[in-house]
């Protein structure tokens, strides 16, 4: 390019005292997305409540960390596999 002659061979685009390594480390770091932690484990036979589906009993719970799945048979007779992080189930005592 004809402009390369104008900026000169010594142009690096870095501030005085800044190295390429320090520039790369500050631009390349991105914060990790936080994963919601699901603390409530359910046991088979436990009574639960869901805002849309109503009351139901836990048939199965697959503990897979943040992606845990619970199978609930609701009083309507319908069984649902729900991801814990989205299900918003509450235990009924």
> How would you write the pLDDT of the chain (93 residues) with one tens digit per residue?
566 667 666 666 676 666 666 545 555 555 555 544 445 688 999 999 999 999 999 999 999 888 899 999 999 999 999 999 998 899 998
Question: Please, are residues 70 and 61 in contact by the beta-carbon 8 Å criterion?
Answer: yes
- Segment holding 81, helix H or strand E: strand 79-83
> What pLDDT score was predicted for residue 20?
62
Domain boundaries along the sequence of the chain: 47-91
Query: Alpha-carbon distance 59 to 13, whole Å?
Result: 62
> What pLDDT score was predicted for residue 38?
45
Please calculate the CA angle 73-77-78 and round it to the nearest 5 degrees: 65
> What pLDDT score was predicted for residue 66?
83
Query: Alpha-carbon distance 21 to 83, whole Å?
Result: 42
CA 48 from chain center: how many Å? 24
Query: Alpha-carbon distance 2 to 30, whole Å?
Result: 36
């Amino acid at each position: 390019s004809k402009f390369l002659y104008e900026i000169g061979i010594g142009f690096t685009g870095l501030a005085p005292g800044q190295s390429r390594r320090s520039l790369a480390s500050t631009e390349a770091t991105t914060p990790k997305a936080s994963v919601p932690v699901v603390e409530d484990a359910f046991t088979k036979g436990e009574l639960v409540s869901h805002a849309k589906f109503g009351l139901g009993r836990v048939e199965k719970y697959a503990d897979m960390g943040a992606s845990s799945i619970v199978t609930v048979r609701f009083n309507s007779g319908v069984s649902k596999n729900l991801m814990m992080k989205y299900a918003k189930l509450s235990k009924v005592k």
